[in-house]
Structure 1
């Protein structure tokens, strides 16, 4: 069936909230954060490490294959439809553990050490294991990578280049060397305050995640993707301009949403600049704000796609925020068909991306007639 709508039709997630999409949604609805203290800091760790194991691929690649396979199975794609799909994968730090000589616990094979250390192994592994023969791309635009991958997939479908796409993002940043790098750069939180818009926030809390979703030309699904846009600050390799001017310019191209899910890293610089951008782009009162990093931690290149998958899968009755957060309400938000949601990400180096989602009517269930006994 031809369609002008591009919809998310299936998703799977693994993060600190749970080992499956259903577990993650249950934790969110229960108001339960996935962050816990490890080594004196809050972290969002994946509890079941078995999803990272495998001899051929790196840990992040194994995680990507796991969520990708589950999303495709949930979508109902045939083998032929899967074969012709386009694949867009994303990660900020890739298989950093393998590059640094870690992850011996996953029983690696020496034969694959070269392929284990490149970012593109993530996309290649998904393609090989799922039998995808369409082109694959690997994006690494920092914390915007996952949302950019979704945007690139949306663009390909909108241009008529493909009928369906698989989008995958994964990051495992809880590596000693990466943690120390964030600490040295003064981006890592120095305390356990889990409140990204607080004036006393000190930094981000790292988290792990793998997420995949299927995108199709369809009038029905979990949510319709209505728009993707991106730009750059051209300002600094670490900081974001405090006035948020570039981000505000980007957001002004979107219709006013009912809900905004901001990037909200928790760094003092970002908490100011992003809110300035929102107030500039959307005249007060601001739309409702949904903060998901207090639930999952900052999953770097996976965060944008993770938030999108959770939101789309929870519609139309989104769970609220954690209680006690600065500047937001904890209440559940009831949405209606046609309501717009805006998801924002900002990558290190000043790359901004945003995706518009629209609430769609749920599919009409197929009624199977009950045979009448003679």
Structure 2
């Protein structure tokens, strides 16, 4: 773990504010702890719960942090479903496997881009030579967390 941060956005019992400000701050602090800027991140593991408010907040936060220079975006929920409290551990393990295999998976079931979000996950398996990846986590009660993982 190269960097991390966590916070609570108490705007709603089910997720963060739609503007993504609180999540963006968490992502920026995790990057700062890792000693890198957004340009150093080779992939982002989305929380991507499929809920309007959380997805809007995540998209807004990523645009605040990365601008239009988004790295590849990975989503594991199409493979796992939403495992609730276990999603953080499972998705971290899967992304570590991606780093070890130097590859990012396709996102099954993704059929159309939501114009309100303006971003799409990886659509085909692709190589990943990145040394740093960012993981987003959004939980009930407005809990927010981010990890920056570094390949060893």
1:344 matched residue in structure 2: 136
For the Cα contact (< 8 Å) 2:10–2:16, is it kept in 1? no
Give the alignment partner of residue 305 of structure 1, picking from 75, 79, 89: 89
How many residue pairs match? The answer is 135
The alignment's C-alpha RMSD in Å is 1.6
Written as runs of structure 1 = structure 2, the 5 A alignment for 1:220-239 is 225-239=1-15
2:105 matched residue in structure 1: 319
Higher relative contact order structure (alpha carbons within 8 Å, sequence separation ≥ 6): 2
2:122 matched residue in structure 1: 329
Please give the alpha-carbon distance, in whole angstroms, between the structure 2 residues aligned to 1:313 and 1:265: 21
Written as runs of structure 1 = structure 2, the 5 A alignment for 1:81-92 is none
| 1:277 to partner: Cα distance | 0.7
Please give the alpha-carbon distance, in whole angstroms, between the structure 1 residues aligned to 2:67 and 2:81: 29
Please give the alpha-carbon distance, in whole angstroms, between the structure 1 residues aligned to 2:141 and 2:88: 16
| 1:323 to partner: Cα distance | 5.4
Instruction: Please give the secondary structure, in 1, of the residue aligned with 2:141.
Output: coil
Please give the alpha-carbon distance, in whole angstroms, between the structure 2 residues aligned to 1:242 and 1:295: 26
Give the alignment partner of residue 270 of structure 1, picking from 39, 42, 54: 54
Please give the alpha-carbon distance, in whole angstroms, between the structure 2 residues aligned to 1:306 and 1:284: 29
For the Cα contact (< 8 Å) 1:245–1:277, is it kept in 2? yes
Verify: 1:248 aligned to 2:40, yes or no.
Answer: no
1:108 matched residue in structure 2: none
Verify: 1:289 aligned to 2:73, yes or no.
Answer: yes
| 1:339 to partner: Cα distance | 1.9
- Following TM superposition, the consecutive aligned residue runs of length 4 or more in structure 1 with deviations greater than 6 angstroms are none
Verify: 1:258 aligned to 2:51, yes or no.
Answer: no
Change (3 A) 1:276 1:288: same
Please give the alpha-carbon distance, in whole angstroms, between the structure 2 residues aligned to 1:352 and 1:239: 9
